[in-house]
Amino acid sequence: MDWFFSIIRIAGVAFPGAAALVQLQAEIDSVSLKKRVSKLEDPISWLHDDVPELSRHLYRKLKAENSLKLRFDDDFYTEHSRALAVLETRGHLKGSHALGKRFAEGLWVTDPSYVMYMCVLEEDDAKMGAIIKAVEDCQVGKWLDGKVLQTSIGLPLPVIKAVFDIYEGKGYGLCSKTIGVYEYLGIA
């Protein structure tokens, strides 16, 4: 089909009747370009058609349980099996698998950037802005306590931890390695 539109673009200059087809090709190219750019801007949604819906379910559970470890009934895993598989393959989730049963002990949300993706879909922008501002404004040598931020901002600890982890990954701070402690030290 590309050959057809190529010849139409060439002919469009010489034949006035072909101008409408040249316009049609420009519209098709525009839609195609928008899809390609959208995939670059939001690569997670494009992994599978069910990923956005699944991610909303996961975030609601994460928020309700205030945990990165999530458990669902078997029907949930069956319904979203392909989307879960692709998210796990990409490192966004990790499941505990047993012979004959996927996600036998539930799943863990392992990627902080995926937590941020879920927040884009489900969380309040003002709350997200507040946590980002708190970490951005963290002075060198000062500690931020995730539990204090949870109370003041109203975000679940896993979201606060994900933000801390992202900033640590940039080299701007250090996260406490103590189990059950959600603290961030500004170093840059």
Instruction: Identify the pLDDT of residue 97.
Output: 82
User: Distance (Å, rounded) from C-alpha 90 to C-alpha 129?
Assistant: 27
Inter-residue contact 12 to 22 (CB < 8 Å) = yes
**Is 18 inside any structural domain?**
yes
- The reply to whether 169 and 150 lie within a common domain is yes
User: Distance (Å, rounded) from C-alpha 131 to C-alpha 127?
Assistant: 6
Instruction: Identify the pLDDT of residue 18.
Output: 52
Instruction: Identify the pLDDT of residue 37.
Output: 42
Task: Using a cut of 0.85, tell me whether the model's pTM lies above it.
Answer: no
User: Distance (Å, rounded) from C-alpha 22 to C-alpha 5?
Assistant: 8
Mean pLDDT per 10-residue run, the chain (188 residues)? 50 52 56 47 78 96 96 94 95 88 90 94 95 96 97 97 96 94 96
- The reply to whether 36 and 50 lie within a common domain is no
Joined tokens for residue 126: 């003002």
Instruction: Identify the pLDDT of residue 38.
Output: 43
CA–CA distance from 70 to each of 62, 77, 156, 174, 176 (Å)?
Answer: 7, 12, 14, 26, 23
- Provide the residue range defining the domain that includes 12: 2-41
For residue 68, the 8-state DSSP code is S
Query: How many domains is the chain built from?
Result: 3
Q: How far is CA 161 from the centre of its chain?
A: 15
- The reply to whether 94 and 128 lie within a common domain is no
- The reply to whether 162 and 106 lie within a common domain is no
Instruction: Identify the pLDDT of residue 77.
Output: 93
Those residues whose C-beta lies under 8 Å from the C-beta of residue 104, and which sit 6 or more positions away, are 96, 97, 98
174 residue type, one letter: L
Inter-residue contact 150 to 160 (CB < 8 Å) = yes
- The reply to whether 16 and 70 lie within a common domain is no
**Is 119 inside any structural domain?**
no
Inter-residue contact 32 to 73 (CB < 8 Å) = no
Instruction: Identify the pLDDT of residue 40.
Output: 41
Instruction: Identify the pLDDT of residue 7.
Output: 47
**Is 117 inside any structural domain?**
no
- The reply to whether 20 and 69 lie within a common domain is no
Instruction: Identify the pLDDT of residue 60.
Output: 97
**Is 99 inside any structural domain?**
yes
Q: How far is CA 85 from the centre of its chain?
A: 15
- The reply to whether 57 and 21 lie within a common domain is no
